[in-house]
Amino acid sequence: MKYQTQKIALAYFVVAMALFAVQVTMGLVLGWIYISPNFLSEILPFNVGRMLHTNSLIVWLLLGFFGAAYYLIPEEAEREIHSPKLAWLQLAIFVIGTAGVVVTYLFNLFDGNWLLGNEGREFIEQPRWVKVGIVVAALIFLYNISMTVLAGRKTAITNILLLGLWGLALLFLFAFVNPDNLALDKMYWWYIVHLWVEGTWELVMASILAFLMLKLTGVDREVVEKWLYVIAALALFSGILGTGHHYYWIGTPGYWQWIGSIFSSFEVAPFFAMMSFAFVMVWKGRRDHPNKAALLWSLGCATLAFFGAGVWGFLHTLHGVNYYSHGTQITAAHGHLAFYGAYVCLNLAIITYALPHLLGRDPYNQVLNMVSFWLMSGGVVFMTFTLTFAGTIQTHLQRVNGEGYMDVQDQLWLFYAMRFGSGVAVVLGAVLFIYAVLVPRREIIERGASQPAE
Protein backbone atom coordinates (compact mmCIF):
# COMPACT_ATOMS: atom_id res chain seq x y z
CA MET A 1 0.00 0.00 0.00
CA LYS A 2 1.58 3.21 -1.16
CA TYR A 3 -0.98 5.75 -0.03
CA GLN A 4 -2.44 6.14 3.44
CA THR A 5 -5.96 6.89 2.24
CA GLN A 6 -6.18 3.54 0.49
CA LYS A 7 -6.99 2.26 3.98
CA ILE A 8 -10.53 3.60 3.51
CA ALA A 9 -11.10 0.69 1.16
CA LEU A 10 -10.67 -1.74 4.03
CA ALA A 11 -13.79 -0.51 5.82
CA TYR A 12 -15.83 -0.67 2.61
CA PHE A 13 -14.64 -4.19 1.88
CA VAL A 14 -15.42 -5.43 5.39
CA VAL A 15 -18.97 -4.03 5.32
CA ALA A 16 -19.40 -5.44 1.83
CA MET A 17 -18.35 -8.90 2.94
CA ALA A 18 -20.68 -8.80 5.93
CA LEU A 19 -23.58 -8.02 3.62
CA PHE A 20 -22.39 -10.72 1.25
CA ALA A 21 -22.76 -13.23 4.06
CA VAL A 22 -26.28 -11.95 4.77
CA GLN A 23 -27.16 -12.06 1.09
CA VAL A 24 -26.21 -15.69 0.46
CA THR A 25 -27.73 -16.82 3.75
CA MET A 26 -30.95 -15.15 2.74
CA GLY A 27 -30.71 -16.98 -0.58
CA LEU A 28 -30.50 -20.22 1.31
CA VAL A 29 -33.64 -19.33 3.27
CA LEU A 30 -35.43 -18.61 -0.01
CA GLY A 31 -34.18 -21.86 -1.45
CA TRP A 32 -35.63 -23.68 1.55
CA ILE A 33 -38.97 -21.89 1.20
CA TYR A 34 -39.17 -23.26 -2.33
CA ILE A 35 -38.95 -26.75 -0.84
CA SER A 36 -41.06 -26.15 2.21
CA PRO A 37 -43.33 -23.24 1.39
CA ASN A 38 -44.59 -22.54 4.88
CA PHE A 39 -41.13 -22.06 6.32
CA LEU A 40 -41.08 -18.74 8.24
CA SER A 41 -44.18 -17.64 6.33
CA GLU A 42 -45.34 -15.53 9.29
CA ILE A 43 -42.11 -13.78 10.21
CA LEU A 44 -40.33 -13.59 6.89
CA PRO A 45 -42.66 -13.85 3.90
CA PHE A 46 -40.98 -14.94 0.66
CA ASN A 47 -41.28 -11.55 -0.99
CA VAL A 48 -39.53 -9.81 1.90
CA GLY A 49 -36.77 -12.39 1.99
CA ARG A 50 -36.35 -12.09 -1.74
CA MET A 51 -36.07 -8.34 -1.46
CA LEU A 52 -33.41 -8.71 1.23
CA HIS A 53 -31.51 -11.21 -0.92
CA THR A 54 -31.45 -9.03 -4.04
CA ASN A 55 -31.03 -5.68 -2.33
CA SER A 56 -28.20 -6.77 -0.10
CA LEU A 57 -26.61 -8.11 -3.25
CA ILE A 58 -26.81 -4.75 -4.99
CA VAL A 59 -25.68 -2.80 -1.93
CA TRP A 60 -22.68 -4.97 -1.19
CA LEU A 61 -21.59 -4.98 -4.80
CA LEU A 62 -21.79 -1.19 -4.83
CA LEU A 63 -19.84 -0.96 -1.59
CA GLY A 64 -17.26 -3.25 -3.13
CA PHE A 65 -17.02 -0.96 -6.18
CA PHE A 66 -16.60 2.06 -3.90
CA GLY A 67 -13.91 0.25 -1.96
CA ALA A 68 -12.19 -0.75 -5.18
CA ALA A 69 -12.27 2.86 -6.36
CA TYR A 70 -10.81 4.11 -3.08
CA TYR A 71 -8.14 1.45 -3.35
CA LEU A 72 -7.06 1.82 -6.94
CA ILE A 73 -7.58 5.51 -7.63
CA PRO A 74 -4.75 6.70 -5.36
CA GLU A 75 -2.40 4.26 -7.07
CA GLU A 76 -3.49 5.26 -10.54
CA ALA A 77 -3.74 8.99 -9.91
CA GLU A 78 -0.65 8.96 -7.68
CA ARG A 79 -2.46 11.09 -5.12
CA GLU A 80 -4.07 10.65 -1.73
CA ILE A 81 -7.90 10.61 -1.79
CA HIS A 82 -9.20 14.18 -1.81
CA SER A 83 -11.10 13.93 1.48
CA PRO A 84 -11.04 10.84 3.70
CA LYS A 85 -13.65 12.44 5.96
CA LEU A 86 -16.17 12.55 3.15
CA ALA A 87 -15.44 8.90 2.37
CA TRP A 88 -16.33 7.93 5.94
CA LEU A 89 -19.48 10.05 5.83
CA GLN A 90 -20.48 8.32 2.62
CA LEU A 91 -20.03 4.90 4.21
CA ALA A 92 -22.07 5.95 7.23
CA ILE A 93 -24.94 7.10 5.03
CA PHE A 94 -24.93 3.78 3.21
CA VAL A 95 -24.94 1.74 6.40
CA ILE A 96 -27.77 3.76 7.92
CA GLY A 97 -29.76 3.58 4.70
CA THR A 98 -29.33 -0.17 4.45
CA ALA A 99 -30.40 -0.65 8.04
CA GLY A 100 -33.41 1.58 7.31
CA VAL A 101 -34.46 -0.59 4.38
CA VAL A 102 -34.16 -3.80 6.36
CA VAL A 103 -36.15 -2.49 9.32
CA THR A 104 -38.84 -0.94 7.12
CA TYR A 105 -39.33 -4.19 5.26
CA LEU A 106 -39.06 -6.68 8.08
CA PHE A 107 -41.65 -4.93 10.20
CA ASN A 108 -43.64 -3.57 7.27
CA LEU A 109 -43.54 -0.05 8.66
CA PHE A 110 -45.08 3.09 7.14
CA ASP A 111 -46.83 1.17 4.39
CA GLY A 112 -47.90 3.59 1.65
CA ASN A 113 -46.16 6.57 3.20
CA TRP A 114 -44.71 8.80 0.48
CA LEU A 115 -41.41 9.40 2.24
CA LEU A 116 -40.97 6.48 4.62
CA GLY A 117 -42.80 3.58 3.01
CA ASN A 118 -41.27 1.09 0.59
CA GLU A 119 -41.74 1.57 -3.13
CA GLY A 120 -42.12 -2.05 -4.15
CA ARG A 121 -40.10 -2.13 -7.34
CA GLU A 122 -37.63 -5.00 -7.51
CA PHE A 123 -34.07 -3.89 -6.71
CA ILE A 124 -35.18 -0.30 -6.07
CA GLU A 125 -37.74 -0.87 -3.32
CA GLN A 126 -35.96 1.48 -0.91
CA PRO A 127 -38.15 4.05 0.83
CA ARG A 128 -37.77 7.46 -0.74
CA TRP A 129 -35.69 8.87 2.09
CA VAL A 130 -33.15 6.11 1.57
CA LYS A 131 -33.05 6.86 -2.13
CA VAL A 132 -32.26 10.47 -1.36
CA GLY A 133 -29.52 9.25 0.98
CA ILE A 134 -28.12 7.06 -1.78
CA VAL A 135 -28.01 10.00 -4.16
CA VAL A 136 -26.31 12.21 -1.57
CA ALA A 137 -23.78 9.50 -0.80
CA ALA A 138 -23.16 8.92 -4.49
CA LEU A 139 -22.58 12.62 -5.06
CA ILE A 140 -20.13 12.73 -2.18
CA PHE A 141 -18.34 9.74 -3.62
CA LEU A 142 -18.17 11.14 -7.14
CA TYR A 143 -17.00 14.50 -5.90
CA ASN A 144 -14.31 12.84 -3.82
CA ILE A 145 -12.88 10.57 -6.49
CA SER A 146 -13.27 13.06 -9.33
CA MET A 147 -11.29 15.65 -7.35
CA THR A 148 -8.61 13.07 -6.71
CA VAL A 149 -8.35 12.09 -10.36
CA LEU A 150 -8.48 15.67 -11.62
CA ALA A 151 -5.58 16.62 -9.36
CA GLY A 152 -3.51 13.60 -10.34
CA ARG A 153 -2.43 11.40 -13.19
CA LYS A 154 -5.22 10.49 -15.60
CA THR A 155 -5.10 6.98 -16.98
CA ALA A 156 -7.42 4.96 -19.17
CA ILE A 157 -8.34 2.94 -16.10
CA THR A 158 -9.46 5.95 -14.10
CA ASN A 159 -11.19 7.46 -17.15
CA ILE A 160 -13.33 4.42 -17.79
CA LEU A 161 -13.92 3.82 -14.08
CA LEU A 162 -15.14 7.38 -13.62
CA LEU A 163 -17.32 7.16 -16.72
CA GLY A 164 -18.91 3.99 -15.37
CA LEU A 165 -19.43 5.35 -11.87
CA TRP A 166 -20.88 8.65 -13.05
CA GLY A 167 -23.23 6.82 -15.39
CA LEU A 168 -24.24 4.47 -12.61
CA ALA A 169 -25.13 7.36 -10.31
CA LEU A 170 -26.97 9.41 -12.94
CA LEU A 171 -29.05 6.43 -14.03
CA PHE A 172 -30.12 5.87 -10.44
CA LEU A 173 -32.02 9.16 -10.67
CA PHE A 174 -34.63 7.24 -12.68
CA ALA A 175 -35.52 5.56 -9.41
CA PHE A 176 -37.47 8.74 -8.66
CA VAL A 177 -39.48 8.44 -11.85
CA ASN A 178 -42.38 6.17 -10.99
CA PRO A 179 -45.36 6.74 -13.31
CA ASP A 180 -48.72 5.16 -12.53
CA ASN A 181 -48.82 3.59 -15.97
CA LEU A 182 -47.29 0.16 -15.43
CA ALA A 183 -45.71 -0.03 -18.91
CA LEU A 184 -43.98 3.31 -18.40
CA ASP A 185 -42.98 2.35 -14.89
CA LYS A 186 -41.25 -0.76 -16.26
CA MET A 187 -39.66 1.19 -19.05
CA TYR A 188 -37.87 3.50 -16.64
CA TRP A 189 -37.18 0.67 -14.24
CA TRP A 190 -35.09 -1.04 -16.89
CA TYR A 191 -33.16 2.15 -17.48
CA ILE A 192 -31.68 1.43 -14.08
CA VAL A 193 -31.56 -2.32 -13.85
CA HIS A 194 -30.46 -3.10 -17.37
CA LEU A 195 -28.31 -0.03 -18.06
CA TRP A 196 -26.54 -0.75 -14.82
CA VAL A 197 -25.54 -4.36 -15.26
CA GLU A 198 -25.23 -4.28 -19.04
CA GLY A 199 -23.78 -0.80 -19.40
CA THR A 200 -22.18 1.23 -16.68
CA TRP A 201 -21.26 -1.66 -14.39
CA GLU A 202 -19.55 -3.32 -17.31
CA LEU A 203 -17.30 -0.28 -17.58
CA VAL A 204 -16.51 -0.58 -13.88
CA MET A 205 -15.84 -4.28 -14.36
CA ALA A 206 -13.55 -3.69 -17.34
CA SER A 207 -11.52 -1.03 -15.57
CA ILE A 208 -11.09 -3.01 -12.35
CA LEU A 209 -10.11 -6.09 -14.35
CA ALA A 210 -7.65 -3.96 -16.30
CA PHE A 211 -6.12 -2.73 -13.03
CA LEU A 212 -5.80 -6.29 -11.75
CA MET A 213 -4.25 -7.50 -15.00
CA LEU A 214 -1.79 -4.65 -14.95
CA LYS A 215 -0.70 -5.53 -11.43
CA LEU A 216 -0.86 -9.29 -11.61
CA THR A 217 0.62 -9.99 -15.03
CA GLY A 218 2.96 -7.04 -15.56
CA VAL A 219 1.82 -6.52 -19.14
CA ASP A 220 2.51 -3.04 -20.53
CA ARG A 221 -0.02 -0.40 -19.67
CA GLU A 222 -0.32 0.55 -23.31
CA VAL A 223 -1.58 -2.89 -24.26
CA VAL A 224 -4.03 -2.99 -21.36
CA GLU A 225 -5.40 0.42 -22.27
CA LYS A 226 -6.07 -0.49 -25.87
CA TRP A 227 -8.14 -3.48 -24.76
CA LEU A 228 -9.93 -1.41 -22.18
CA TYR A 229 -11.12 1.18 -24.68
CA VAL A 230 -12.28 -1.47 -27.14
CA ILE A 231 -14.21 -3.31 -24.41
CA ALA A 232 -15.83 -0.11 -23.19
CA ALA A 233 -16.88 0.83 -26.72
CA LEU A 234 -18.37 -2.61 -27.38
CA ALA A 235 -20.24 -2.56 -24.08
CA LEU A 236 -21.88 0.79 -24.71
CA PHE A 237 -22.58 0.12 -28.38
CA SER A 238 -24.47 -3.09 -27.68
CA GLY A 239 -25.78 -2.48 -24.19
CA ILE A 240 -27.69 0.77 -24.59
CA LEU A 241 -30.13 -0.34 -27.27
CA GLY A 242 -29.88 -3.87 -25.90
CA THR A 243 -32.33 -2.60 -23.28
CA GLY A 244 -34.88 -3.49 -25.92
CA HIS A 245 -34.74 -7.14 -24.83
CA HIS A 246 -36.85 -6.14 -21.82
CA TYR A 247 -39.39 -4.26 -23.94
CA TYR A 248 -40.82 -7.25 -25.78
CA TRP A 249 -43.96 -7.81 -23.78
CA ILE A 250 -44.51 -4.81 -21.54
CA GLY A 251 -46.69 -2.77 -23.87
CA THR A 252 -43.97 -0.99 -25.84
CA PRO A 253 -44.22 -0.91 -29.68
CA GLY A 254 -43.38 -4.05 -31.65
CA TYR A 255 -40.20 -2.77 -33.28
CA TRP A 256 -38.46 -3.21 -29.92
CA GLN A 257 -38.51 -6.92 -30.62
CA TRP A 258 -36.01 -6.44 -33.42
CA ILE A 259 -33.98 -3.69 -31.83
CA GLY A 260 -33.73 -5.70 -28.64
CA SER A 261 -32.92 -9.01 -30.33
CA ILE A 262 -30.24 -7.60 -32.58
CA PHE A 263 -28.44 -5.28 -30.19
CA SER A 264 -28.60 -7.55 -27.17
CA SER A 265 -27.15 -10.42 -29.21
CA PHE A 266 -24.07 -8.26 -29.61
CA GLU A 267 -23.82 -7.85 -25.87
CA VAL A 268 -21.98 -11.14 -25.95
CA ALA A 269 -19.08 -9.31 -27.64
CA PRO A 270 -17.82 -7.20 -24.71
CA PHE A 271 -18.01 -10.20 -22.38
CA PHE A 272 -16.13 -12.30 -24.88
CA ALA A 273 -13.58 -9.52 -25.24
CA MET A 274 -13.12 -9.34 -21.47
CA MET A 275 -12.52 -13.06 -21.26
CA SER A 276 -10.03 -12.97 -24.14
CA PHE A 277 -8.38 -9.95 -22.56
CA ALA A 278 -7.83 -11.70 -19.24
CA PHE A 279 -6.41 -14.85 -20.78
CA VAL A 280 -4.24 -13.07 -23.34
CA MET A 281 -2.76 -10.88 -20.62
CA VAL A 282 -1.94 -13.83 -18.41
CA TRP A 283 -0.50 -15.72 -21.32
CA LYS A 284 1.71 -12.79 -22.34
CA GLY A 285 2.51 -11.61 -18.85
CA ARG A 286 6.00 -12.01 -17.53
CA ARG A 287 5.35 -11.39 -13.87
CA ASP A 288 4.82 -14.30 -11.53
CA HIS A 289 2.80 -12.53 -8.91
CA PRO A 290 2.57 -14.31 -5.54
CA ASN A 291 -1.11 -13.55 -5.15
CA LYS A 292 -2.28 -16.54 -7.19
CA ALA A 293 -5.73 -16.43 -5.65
CA ALA A 294 -6.40 -12.93 -7.00
CA LEU A 295 -5.44 -14.17 -10.45
CA LEU A 296 -7.75 -17.16 -10.09
CA TRP A 297 -10.67 -14.92 -9.14
CA SER A 298 -9.92 -12.55 -12.02
CA LEU A 299 -9.85 -15.31 -14.60
CA GLY A 300 -12.87 -16.93 -13.02
CA CYS A 301 -14.68 -13.62 -13.17
CA ALA A 302 -14.03 -13.07 -16.87
CA THR A 303 -14.91 -16.67 -17.74
CA LEU A 304 -18.05 -17.04 -15.66
CA ALA A 305 -19.25 -13.60 -16.75
CA PHE A 306 -18.92 -14.71 -20.34
CA PHE A 307 -20.97 -17.81 -19.63
CA GLY A 308 -23.50 -16.25 -17.26
CA ALA A 309 -24.09 -12.98 -19.08
CA GLY A 310 -22.97 -13.85 -22.58
CA VAL A 311 -24.03 -17.44 -23.16
CA TRP A 312 -26.94 -17.71 -20.71
CA GLY A 313 -28.07 -14.21 -21.69
CA PHE A 314 -28.03 -15.01 -25.38
CA LEU A 315 -29.91 -18.22 -24.67
CA HIS A 316 -33.15 -16.33 -24.01
CA THR A 317 -32.56 -12.92 -25.57
CA LEU A 318 -34.04 -13.47 -29.04
CA HIS A 319 -37.69 -12.50 -28.87
CA GLY A 320 -38.82 -15.75 -30.43
CA VAL A 321 -37.27 -17.64 -27.53
CA ASN A 322 -38.09 -15.11 -24.84
CA TYR A 323 -41.76 -15.36 -25.80
CA TYR A 324 -41.70 -18.78 -24.16
CA SER A 325 -39.01 -18.44 -21.52
CA HIS A 326 -39.85 -14.98 -20.13
CA GLY A 327 -39.89 -14.96 -16.34
CA THR A 328 -39.27 -18.69 -15.87
CA GLN A 329 -36.49 -20.35 -13.91
CA ILE A 330 -34.31 -19.81 -17.00
CA THR A 331 -34.28 -16.14 -16.10
CA ALA A 332 -33.26 -17.02 -12.54
CA ALA A 333 -30.49 -19.30 -13.82
CA HIS A 334 -29.11 -16.49 -15.97
CA GLY A 335 -29.52 -13.89 -13.20
CA HIS A 336 -27.49 -16.01 -10.76
CA LEU A 337 -24.59 -16.94 -13.01
CA ALA A 338 -24.36 -13.46 -14.57
CA PHE A 339 -24.36 -11.60 -11.28
CA TYR A 340 -22.02 -14.08 -9.71
CA GLY A 341 -19.55 -14.27 -12.58
CA ALA A 342 -19.42 -10.64 -13.50
CA TYR A 343 -19.81 -8.75 -10.26
CA VAL A 344 -19.44 -11.08 -7.28
CA CYS A 345 -16.22 -12.60 -8.62
CA LEU A 346 -14.97 -9.16 -9.62
CA ASN A 347 -15.37 -7.85 -6.10
CA LEU A 348 -13.86 -10.94 -4.55
CA ALA A 349 -10.92 -10.62 -6.96
CA ILE A 350 -10.11 -7.06 -6.00
CA ILE A 351 -10.68 -7.87 -2.31
CA THR A 352 -8.30 -10.82 -2.58
CA TYR A 353 -5.76 -8.61 -4.26
CA ALA A 354 -6.12 -5.60 -1.96
CA LEU A 355 -6.58 -7.07 1.51
CA PRO A 356 -3.03 -8.37 1.97
CA HIS A 357 -1.78 -4.87 1.17
CA LEU A 358 -4.37 -3.21 3.36
CA LEU A 359 -3.69 -5.50 6.29
CA GLY A 360 0.04 -5.33 5.77
CA ARG A 361 0.47 -9.06 5.34
CA ASP A 362 1.81 -11.33 2.68
CA PRO A 363 -0.93 -12.90 0.62
CA TYR A 364 -1.42 -15.72 3.09
CA ASN A 365 -3.72 -18.62 2.77
CA GLN A 366 -3.95 -18.75 -0.89
CA VAL A 367 -4.96 -22.37 -0.62
CA LEU A 368 -8.01 -21.74 1.52
CA ASN A 369 -8.96 -18.81 -0.67
CA MET A 370 -8.63 -20.90 -3.81
CA VAL A 371 -10.65 -23.70 -2.27
CA SER A 372 -13.37 -21.16 -1.56
CA PHE A 373 -13.28 -20.13 -5.22
CA TRP A 374 -13.87 -23.67 -6.41
CA LEU A 375 -16.49 -24.40 -3.78
CA MET A 376 -18.47 -21.23 -4.39
CA SER A 377 -18.14 -21.27 -8.16
CA GLY A 378 -18.93 -24.95 -8.33
CA GLY A 379 -22.03 -24.28 -6.26
CA VAL A 380 -23.24 -21.43 -8.42
CA VAL A 381 -22.55 -23.30 -11.65
CA PHE A 382 -24.41 -26.34 -10.39
CA MET A 383 -27.28 -24.12 -9.26
CA THR A 384 -27.34 -22.59 -12.75
CA PHE A 385 -27.63 -26.02 -14.33
CA THR A 386 -30.42 -27.18 -12.02
CA LEU A 387 -32.35 -23.97 -12.63
CA THR A 388 -31.80 -24.20 -16.38
CA PHE A 389 -33.21 -27.73 -16.44
CA ALA A 390 -36.06 -26.66 -14.20
CA GLY A 391 -36.71 -23.69 -16.47
CA THR A 392 -36.69 -25.76 -19.62
CA ILE A 393 -39.22 -28.19 -18.20
CA GLN A 394 -41.26 -25.32 -16.81
CA THR A 395 -41.29 -23.57 -20.18
CA HIS A 396 -42.46 -26.69 -21.91
CA LEU A 397 -45.15 -27.72 -19.42
CA GLN A 398 -46.44 -24.26 -18.69
CA ARG A 399 -45.92 -22.21 -21.83
CA VAL A 400 -46.20 -24.90 -24.49
CA ASN A 401 -48.58 -27.40 -22.92
CA GLY A 402 -50.47 -24.76 -20.96
CA GLU A 403 -50.45 -26.46 -17.55
CA GLY A 404 -51.16 -24.38 -14.45
CA TYR A 405 -48.27 -22.56 -12.80
CA MET A 406 -48.51 -24.30 -9.44
CA ASP A 407 -49.04 -27.74 -10.98
CA VAL A 408 -45.80 -27.26 -12.83
CA GLN A 409 -43.98 -26.06 -9.73
CA ASP A 410 -44.93 -29.30 -7.95
CA GLN A 411 -43.18 -31.26 -10.66
CA LEU A 412 -39.98 -29.31 -10.31
CA TRP A 413 -39.41 -30.27 -6.69
CA LEU A 414 -36.35 -32.37 -7.38
CA PHE A 415 -34.56 -29.48 -9.07
CA TYR A 416 -35.34 -27.13 -6.22
CA ALA A 417 -33.92 -29.66 -3.78
CA MET A 418 -30.73 -29.84 -5.80
CA ARG A 419 -30.59 -26.07 -5.97
CA PHE A 420 -30.77 -25.95 -2.20
CA GLY A 421 -27.86 -28.38 -2.01
CA SER A 422 -25.72 -26.25 -4.29
CA GLY A 423 -26.77 -23.20 -2.26
CA VAL A 424 -25.26 -24.79 0.85
CA ALA A 425 -21.96 -25.09 -1.03
CA VAL A 426 -22.14 -21.43 -2.00
CA VAL A 427 -22.73 -20.30 1.57
CA LEU A 428 -19.91 -22.47 2.88
CA GLY A 429 -17.67 -21.10 0.17
CA ALA A 430 -18.55 -17.54 1.13
CA VAL A 431 -17.81 -18.12 4.79
CA LEU A 432 -14.53 -19.80 3.91
CA PHE A 433 -13.59 -16.88 1.69
CA ILE A 434 -14.25 -14.30 4.37
CA TYR A 435 -12.24 -16.35 6.85
CA ALA A 436 -9.35 -16.82 4.42
CA VAL A 437 -8.93 -13.15 3.60
CA LEU A 438 -9.44 -11.75 7.08
CA VAL A 439 -8.18 -14.15 9.72
CA PRO A 440 -5.02 -16.21 9.10
CA ARG A 441 -1.81 -14.38 9.91
CA ARG A 442 0.58 -16.99 8.69
CA GLU A 443 0.73 -19.57 5.98
CA ILE A 444 -0.82 -22.82 7.05
CA ILE A 445 0.21 -24.73 3.98
CA GLU A 446 3.65 -24.11 2.44
CA ARG A 447 3.60 -22.14 -0.73
CA GLY A 448 6.23 -22.28 -3.45
CA ALA A 449 9.11 -19.84 -3.83
CA SER A 450 8.03 -16.46 -5.01
CA GLN A 451 9.15 -12.93 -5.50
CA PRO A 452 8.04 -10.03 -3.32
CA ALA A 453 4.61 -8.60 -3.90
CA GLU A 454 4.33 -5.38 -5.77
In the complex, the residues that contact other proteins under the rule CB under 8 A are 219-220, 223, 226, 229-230, 233-234, 237-238, 253-255, 258-259, 261-263, 265-266, 269, 280, 284
First to last CA, the chain: 9
Q: Which is nearer to other proteins, 13 or 263 (CB)?
A: 263
- Whether the CB-CB separation of 105 and 125 falls below 8 Å is answered with yes
Q: Is 123 left (phi over 0), alpha (psi -120 to 50) or beta?
A: left
Spatial neighbors of 141 by CB under 8 A, at least 6 apart, are 66, 69, 87, 90, 165, 169
Nearest to 70 by CA among 134, 147, 131: 147
Shortest reach from residue 165's CB to ligand HEM, in Å: 16
148's contact among Fe ion, ligand HEM, other proteins, none, with CB below 5 to 8 A by partner kind, is: none
DSSP 333-399: HHHHHHIIIIIIHHHHHHHHHHHHHHHT-----HHHHHHHHHHHHHHHHHHHHHHHHHHHHHIIIII
Is residue 197 part of the contact set for ligand HEM (CB under 6 A)?
yes
Is residue 332 part of the contact set for ligand HEM (CB under 6 A)?
yes
Q: Is 442 left (phi over 0), alpha (psi -120 to 50) or beta?
A: beta
Q: Which is nearer to Fe ion, 322 or 422 (CB)?
A: 322
Q: Which of 12, 70, 94, 340 binds ligand HEM (CB under 6 A)?
A: 340
Is residue 267 part of the contact set for ligand HEM (CB under 6 A)?
yes
- Whether the CB-CB separation of 419 and 23 falls below 8 Å is answered with no
Among the candidate windows 227-235, 261-269, 353-361, 443-451, which touches ligand HEM by CB under 6 A? Answer: 261-269
H runs (alpha helix) in 78-200 = 84-106, 128-151, 156-172, 182-195
Nearest to 420 by CA among 33, 39, 42: 33
Shortest reach from residue 387's CB to ligand HEM, in Å: 9
Q: Which is nearer to Fe ion, 170 or 241 (CB)?
A: 241
**# residues near ligand HEM by CB under 6 A:** 44
Q: Would you give the distance in Å from CA 298 to the centre of its chain? A: 14
Nearest to 351 by CA among 66, 94, 161, 95: 66
Is residue 24 part of the contact set for ligand HEM (CB under 6 A)?
yes
Q: Which is nearer to ligand HEM, 93 or 436 (CB)?
A: 436
- 28 burial type by CB count under 10 A (0-12 exposed, 13-18 middle, 19+ buried): middle
Among the candidate windows 149-157, 216-224, 330-338, 439-447, which touches ligand HEM by CB under 6 A? Answer: 330-338
Is residue 57 part of the contact set for ligand HEM (CB under 6 A)?
yes
89's contact among other proteins, ligand HEM, Fe ion, none, with CB below 5 to 8 A by partner kind, is: none
Is residue 268 part of the contact set for ligand HEM (CB under 6 A)?
yes
User: Considering only residues 103-162, where is the footprint of ligand HEM by CB under 6 A?
Assistant: 122
Shortest reach from residue 254's CB to other proteins, in Å: 7
338's contact among other proteins, Fe ion, ligand HEM, none, with CB below 5 to 8 A by partner kind, is: ligand HEM
Cα(11)–Cα(434) distance, integer angstroms = 14
Q: Which is nearer to other proteins, 251 or 404 (CB)?
A: 251
Q: Which of 53, 82, 194, 319 binds Fe ion (CB under 5 A)?
A: 194
Shortest reach from residue 191's CB to ligand HEM, in Å: 13
Q: Which is nearer to ligand HEM, 246 or 289 (CB)?
A: 246
User: Considering only residues 295-324, where is the footprint of ligand HEM by CB under 6 A?
Assistant: 305, 309-310, 313-314, 316-317, 322
Is residue 82 part of the contact set for Fe ion (CB under 5 A)?
no
DSSP 194-258: HHIIIIIHHHHHHHHHHHHHHHHH---HHHHHHHHHHHHHHHHHHHHHHGGGG-SSSS--TTHHH
Chain residues that interact with Fe ion, rule: CB under 5 A: 194, 198
Chain residues that interact with ligand HEM, rule: CB under 6 A: 24, 27-28, 30-31, 34, 50, 53-54, 57, 122, 197-198, 245-246, 264, 267-268, 305, 309-310, 313-314, 316-317, 322, 326-327, 331-332, 334-336, 338-340, 342, 344, 380, 419-420, 423, 426-427
